[in-house]
Amino acid sequence: MELVVYGIINSITLSLISLGFTLVYSISRVPNFAHGALYVAGGYLTWVFLNHFLGIPYFLAILLGVIITSAVGAAIYQFILVRIRGMEISEIIATYAIGLAILEGLRWGGLRGGTFVLPAFFPGSVNILGASVDYQRLIIVGAGVLTFIILYLFTRFTKVGLAFRGIAQDERAAMMLGINSDMTAVLSLAIGSALAGLAAILLLPLGNIVVEGGYNVLVFAVAVCVIGGLGSWGGVIVASFIIGFAQILTEYFISAHYQMVVALLAIIITLLVKPSGIFGKQKELEERV
Amino acid sequence: MRKERIDRGLKVRTEGIYAITSAREILYLMGPRILLIVGLLALPFVFELAPYWKKVINIMCAYALLALSFDFLANYVGLVCLGGAFFTGIGGYFAAIFNVELGMPVWLSMPLAGVAGAIFCTVALLPCLPLRGVYFAIVTLMYPLLFTRIIEALDILGGTNGMTGLDALPNAYVENYVIIVVALVFLFAMRRFVNEDIGLVLRGVKDNDQSVRASGISVTRMRIIGVFIASLLGCFAGAYIAHLYMWAGISLFALDFSIIPIAAVVIGGGGTLVGALIGAFILVPLSEVLRAFGTFRIVIYCAILTGFIVFKSEGIMIYLQRKYHQFERWVKV
């Protein structure tokens, strides 16, 4: 029973991490390799607001952190990516370079060691089905589910959300219907970065803010997205449950060291068996070559 | 008034076979190549009195090999490799295994590590080769991080301490010239290779894979050839670095080996192959000068890199080539 509870928590954590990446890729077709960096930056900004602007309540610090992270994401598109749109090689290199610059800049600026800790929203823990779960993890599950519901409603029932889906399905047809492709892409990067920041703020109270976290988040986000099918939202949920449970099971039965190996094996098996991922059906032709 | 850019007469005259009838035209053709070869071969003597900078030459040429491999893969095969460190790491560990565990001499373990490492890397990257380029970027990004973790976690191959006791190269001159000659040979071999038939097909894979497939050529097979060649370069550089430091450890998977080659190619001019060398020759000494900044250097590379991509995407080499072959003049419209 313990395994099920921890597995669900781990899976929701993974899907929170990878939601932003998949959103950006599905809409703007930019593989945002700065995702992990934005995650760490979101957590760090919140920490700065919390500790260096005395008197700001935690809630406000979180809000500011998320908003600024999302502004950074939008700026990355507006000032850099828009100029190299469509040149796949340049896009990949540029986002990767920006991500590295943010992460290594933070490391150089002193982000190391265990001093950077966000407090939990509510301290304490509760006993669920024989497993002790602290409140922060419950909040993660709640917030994760809530984020999914909000995103689902947003993409079905608002004008901007429908424009997102239009661009994701067929960019040219959407442009003919008067949807501004660049504007949508800026918005998608803003929302994707906001999701990265949100994930950071929810997850980081469980540990320290460290630069390595950025690389781990990027690797896991990418793993989940490849397995679920790049740009597929349903795939993200299913794939994060697969990897999440696989990780918890290996951790329980073998050793915690093998978590990364599990992700790697899952990617390789997916690429060999069904390259477009679990839910990438309609884009299968495009993915293969 | 409008600026017009036209080829120099000399350039046009040297395009045909009759260029060999004139010393001046031969010089025009051979000059830049000879400058590069002689300049590079003379470097160890120029820095005779500065042993530290002689070491930098080694590292510089190793990075030049990595940059060459990145340039070839990105601009001729259309695969962006975000993890050059994967190649160096695998090459380095293979060299350590061959040299320390199996007791092979240096001159055997280095080339053998290059070939074995290239086979290993190609097999490891095989699953993502039938797919679009973005998968390759993703997987190569993950591999160096993953292999570091795996080596750390499983405590194999010396774990976090790495494998020590590799044989050093006989003396400083051999150290210098092995890598300089290899870099030059690979540079000119690659330039020839990409203009052979197979190079043409590889460029086809990059520009329009569907038409390559329609011609009955397997895209995956071509990509395997491309990745094998690129990882051969990378793994040889890794094996060389391992022998140079007499140590193979996790730091062979370090970020520097991934980002400096990319920056070198973007600065030097993608697709020229020589540009990759020139970029490395600019960036590596720069990084030695900036040693005091530590990890901030990566931020500097990334800033330069992004700046070049956005504002000057042609790079230094293409700019220089244009100046060499063409002149500009104002004309009335």
What is d(CA B287, CA B271) in angstroms, rounded to the nearest whole number?
24
Q: How far is A80 from chain B (nearest CA, A)?
A: 7
Using the beta-carbon criterion (under 8 Å), do B153 and A223 form an inter-chain contact? no
Residue B131: beta bridge partners? A288
Q: Is residue B97 part of a domain?
A: yes
Minimum Cα–Cα distance from A286: chain B residue? B132
Q: How far is A20 from chain B (nearest CA, A)?
A: 16
Both tokens of residue B4? 């017009």
Amino acid at B260: I
Crossing angle of helices B274-289 and B256-268, in 10° steps, is 120
Return the pLDDT at A284.
57
Q: What is the DSSP letter of A130?
A: T
Q: CA dist A283 to B79, B133, B229, Å? A: 20, 15, 31
Closest C-alpha among A21, A51, A63 to residue A214: A21
Minimum Cα–Cα distance from A273: chain B residue? B127
What is d(CA B169, CA B219) in angstroms, rounded to the nearest whole number?
40
Closest C-alpha among A104, A32, A107, A109 to residue A72: A32
Using the beta-carbon criterion (under 8 Å), do A33 and B141 form an inter-chain contact? yes
A226 in B contact zone (CB under 8 Å): yes
Hey, what CATH class is A2-287 in?
A: mainly alpha
Residue with tokens 């700001």: A56
Judged by DSSP in three states, A244 sits in: helix
Q: Which chain B residues are Cβ-neighbours of A272 within 8 angstroms?
A: 127
Hey, of A30, A82, A89, which one would you mutate to test binding to chain B, going by the most B CBs within 10 A of its CB? A89
Both tokens of residue B54? 């002689």
How many CB atoms neighbour CB A100 within 10 A? 27
Residue with tokens 């406000």: A60
Q: Which of B150, B298, B313 sits opposite A90 (nearest CB)?
A: B313
Residue ranges of A 239-268 with Cβ closer than 8 A to chain B: 255, 257-258, 260-261, 263-264, 267-268
Nearby residues of B290 by Cβ (< 8 Å), 6 or more positions away: B296, B297, B300
What is d(CA B104, CA B116) in angstroms, rounded to the nearest whole number?
14
Q: How far is A275 from chain B (nearest CA, A)?
A: 7
- Written as tens digits, the pLDDT of chain A (289 aa) is 778 888 888 888 888 888 888 888 888 888 888 898 999 888 888 888 888 776 678 888 888 889 999 999 999 988 888 888 878 888 888 898 899 888 888 888 776 766 777 777 777 777 776 677 778 888 888 888 998 899 889 888 888 888 888 888 888 888 888 888 888 889 989 999 999 998 888 888 887 778 888 888 888 888 888 888 777 778 888 888 888 888 888 888 877 777 777 777 888 888 877 777 777 655 555 555 5
Q: Which chain B residues are Cβ-neighbours of A286 within 8 angstroms?
A: 132
Q: Is residue B268 part of a domain?
A: no
What is d(CA A31, CA B128) in angstroms, rounded to the nearest whole number?
16
8 A C-beta contact, residue A8 and residue A137: no
Nearby residues of B289 by Cβ (< 8 Å), 6 or more positions away: none
Nearby residues of B281 by Cβ (< 8 Å), 6 or more positions away: B60, B64
Q: Is residue B189 part of a domain?
A: yes
Q: Is residue B2 part of a domain?
A: no
Radius of gyration of the CA atoms of chain B, in A: 21
Q: Is residue B214 part of a domain?
A: yes
Closest C-alpha among A138, A126, A128 to residue A2: A128
A207 in B contact zone (CB under 8 Å): no
Using the beta-carbon criterion (under 8 Å), do B298 and A101 form an inter-chain contact? yes
Using the beta-carbon criterion (under 8 Å), do B299 and A94 form an inter-chain contact? no
Closest C-alpha among A39, A48, A15, A68 to residue A210: A39
Using the beta-carbon criterion (under 8 Å), do B296 and A289 form an inter-chain contact? no
Q: Which chain B residues are Cβ-neighbours of A260 within 8 angstroms?
A: 145-146, 149-150, 153
Low-confidence ranges of chain B (pLDDT < 50): none
Crossing angle of helices B51-72 and B84-96, in 10° steps, is 120
Return the pLDDT at B227.
93
Using the beta-carbon criterion (under 8 Å), do A93 and B80 form an inter-chain contact? yes
Minimum Cα–Cα distance from A214: chain B residue? B145
What region does A55 belong to: left with phi over 0, alpha with psi -120 to 50, or beta? left
Report the b/e string of A210-240 with b at 16+ CB within 10 A.
bbebbbbbbbbbbbbbbbbbbbbbebbbbbb
Q: How far is B298 from chain A (nearest CA, A)?
A: 7
- Total of domains in chain B: 1
What is d(CA A120, CA A170) in angstroms, rounded to the nearest whole number?
42
Give the residue numbers spanning the domain of B139.
Answer: 49-255
Judged by DSSP in three states, A52 sits in: helix
Using the beta-carbon criterion (under 8 Å), do A101 and B210 form an inter-chain contact? no
Amino acid at B177: Y
Q: Which chain A residues are Cβ-neighbours of B263 within 8 angstroms?
A: 97
3-state SS string for chain B: CEEEEEECHHHHHCCCHHHHHCHHHHHHHHHHHHHHHHHHHHHHHHCCCCHHHHHHHHHHHHHHHHHHHHHHHHHHHCCCCCCHHHHHHHHHHHHHHHHHHCCCCHHHHHHHHHHHHHHHHHHHHHHHCCECHHHHHHHHHHHHHHHHHHHHHHCCCCHHHCEECCCCCCCHHHHHHHHHHHHHHHHHHHHHHCCCHHHHHHHHHHHCHHHHHHCCCCHHHHHHHHHHHHHHHHHHHHHHHHHHHCEECHHHHCCHHHHHHHHHHHHHCCCCCHHHHHHHHHHHHHHHHCHHHCCHHHHHHHHHHHHHHHHCCCHHHHHHHHHHHEEEEEECC
How many CB atoms neighbour CB B80 within 10 A? 25
Q: Which chain B residues are Cβ-neighbours of A104 within 8 angstroms?
A: 255, 295-296, 298-299, 302
Distance of CA A177 to the CA centre of its chain: 30
Using the beta-carbon criterion (under 8 Å), do A287 and B132 form an inter-chain contact? yes
Sign of CA dihedral A193, A195, A201, A203: negative
Q: CA dist B105 to B101, B173, B236, B244, Å? A: 11, 18, 15, 14
Q: Which of A215, A271, A286 sits opposite B127 (nearest CB)?
A: A271
For chain A, which residues make up each domain, given as ranges?
A: 2-287
Return the pLDDT at A286.
59
What is d(CA A169, CA A166) in angstroms, rounded to the nearest whole number?
5
Both tokens of residue B38? 């002689």
